[in-house]
Amino acid sequence: MKLKNKIALIFTGSVSVLTLVFCLFIYAQTDTDVHRQFQRRLRNKANTTIQIFQEFFRTNPEILKRIDRSTIVNLPDKTISIFNSNAQLIYHFSDSSRNLFQAERSLYERGTDIDEANADEGERRFILEHFQYEGTKHTVIVSAIDPLGVERLTDIKNALTIGGLLIIAITLLLSRFVASFLTRPIRTFITEMNSIQRFNLKNRISLDNKSKDELSELALTFNDLMDRLEQSFQIQNQFISNASHELCTPLTSISNQLEVTLQKQRATEDYQQVLKSVFEDVKHLNKLTTGLLEMARSSESKIKIEIATLRIDEVLMRVVNEVQSINENQVHLDYLDIPEEEEDLELFGNRDLLESAIKNVVLNACKFDPNKSATVTIGFTKNDIQIDIADKGIGMSKETIKNIFEPFYQGPTAAQKKGFGLGLSIARNIIKFHNGKILVTSEPNSGSVFHISLPKALRTNA
């Protein structure tokens, strides 16, 4: 069943139940009110009969019947019976000349010890009251039918039935219209989702900026998911393309050298020369593979990576020591200010990944500095830790800065430097993983400065 029909049925069913309960309540209240009013009329007639009986029964008994005949309109088809203390019927009047009803006799027998009682027999209602006459207890029983009350109940029942059915019919039509209106964005959502294929992953669900309902949140969540999927596919395609190209070069070199060497018998020196060349290609291939693995790891989900509280000063000291142990590099670590609280030095992250990211940036700075030197400056703001890594190298053009963080990209000035163009791309992924930012400012022949911003642990807790 479609959601539109399900909403319409649920809404109509709920309104139908409420309407039925309301109609039953109104009918029950009306029936109680009609019954109470007629009982009051019977009681008034009984009290009037008692007063007249006590006043005129001995002197003029016919006056009771004359009065009873005159109240036909007020109490249609009435009967009035009076019993003495010996259960003898001493007075009886009936508009239709009926004898005693069985209900009158049973009501008299049941109401001997109570002052007032009532009973029903079909549409006829009875009321019993006791009174004193000449020192003895007498009983009067008055009964009648209530055609006006029955007609009133019939009218109210018909009105409630017709009104209830009309409300249900209108509710059904209105609920279908409302359900169709509410599910229209879902139909649009489904249509736009079906239009997204592997060759057009850039398509997104259109958003209504004015609406802040759950459907807008769902569309926004879906678009975020598609952004991540598109990025993953782009990284995967780029990774496959670049990796296959970069891996082919050393593998082809190794294959060609071995093939040429095996074509004829050679001197020992020639074999040693070939093995040295192959060994260099293998080391090159190993470094490339390691870089590719680090790049893949830097793109992993946060769920798979252990996060802990780190001190940025400890991370930087380890990075400085490692970089200085490679190729006589020199790294200078400066603090703009020293935080008063140790918590200002802390951040949430993965130590190995963060050290790898910063080390790649520092190594890149040392590589392009003529003195193999880099300066690492650390500062603090209210919410962030700022790390600047500067070199005095040849700098970069605007075009190079635009592509510097792309995998395997190497600027024109990097052609003479060993590397694969993966370090900065890995660093960017890791910094982004830690909810940080990395930017670069540089001009040709003026050196470069990489600016890294990482959130403090205090801000993450807040």
- Would you say residue 66 has pLDDT above 60? yes
Chain position carrying tokens 């030095």? 345
The helix, strand and coil proportions of the chain, stated in percent and rounded to the nearest 5, come to 55, 20, 25
Query: pLDDT-derived band of residue 388, with 50, 70 and 90 as boundaries?
Result: very high
Residue 199 inside a domain? The answer is no
Task: Quote the domain boundaries for residue 365.
Answer: 305-461
Question: Is the model's pTM score more than 0.85?
Answer: no
- Would you say residue 34 has pLDDT above 70? yes
Those residues with Cβ within 8 angstroms of residue 365's Cβ, 6 or more apart along the chain or in another chain: 374, 389, 390, 391, 393, 448, 450
Query: Following DSSP, what letter does each residue of 229-261 receive, concatenated?
Result: HHHHHHHHHHHHHHHHHHHHHHHHHHHHHHHHH
Residue 287 inside a domain? The answer is yes
Range 52-64 average pLDDT: 80
Beta strands 346-349; 384-391: pairing state:
unpaired
Supply the pLDDT for residue 415. Answer: 47
Alpha helix (H) ranges present in 342-383? 351-368
Residue 24 inside a domain? The answer is yes
Helix 351-368 × helix 423-433 angle, to 10° = 140
341 and 368: one domain? yes
**275: CATH:** 1.10.287.130
Query: pLDDT-derived band of residue 461, with 50, 70 and 90 as boundaries?
Result: very low
Are 124 and 94 contacting, i.e. CB atoms less than 8 angstroms apart? no
Structure tokens at 411: 């600027």
Supply the pLDDT for residue 332. Answer: 92
Are 332 and 375 contacting, i.e. CB atoms less than 8 angstroms apart? yes
**Last residue of some domain: 235, 265, 298?**
298
Alpha helix (H) ranges present in 262-310? 268-298
**Last residue of some domain: 129, 152, 175?**
152
Query: pLDDT-derived band of residue 284, with 50, 70 and 90 as boundaries?
Result: low
Query: pLDDT-derived band of residue 462, with 50, 70 and 90 as boundaries?
Result: very low
**Last residue of some domain: 132, 152, 172?**
152
Q: Tell me how many domains the chain contains.
A: 3
C-alpha–C-alpha distance, residues 270 and 278, integer Å: 12
Q: pLDDT tens digits, residue range 210-248? A: 667 777 777 788 878 877 777 777 766 766 665 665 566
